[in-house]
Amino acid sequence: MLPRKGCLDVCNVCEPELQRKMQLELERMELENQLLKRKIELLDKAQEYRCCPEGAKEENG
């Protein structure tokens, strides 16, 4: 059996739903990347606030 090939072209053979699904998946991936970037920013900021001032001792337990 020969492998199938597929591509989107200007011929509009693919269903509009498939094209919409692919577009939504790309948008979702982009939003996930933005969310991860924001989480990293917030974690960096939280780390700045957690650090003790210079010369201060940390309390253990």
Q: Would you list the DSSP string of the chain?
A: -PPP-----TT--S-HHHHHHHHHHHHHHHHHHHHHHHHHHHHHHHHHHHSPPTTPPPP--
What pTM did the predictor assign? 0.55
Arithmetic mean of pLDDT, 31-51 = 89
Could you tell me if 52 and 58 are in contact, meaning their C-beta atoms sit under 8 angstroms apart? yes
Is the pLDDT assigned to residue 61 strictly greater than 80?
Answer: no
- For residues 45 and 59, give the distance between their C-alpha atoms in angstroms, rounded to a whole number: 21
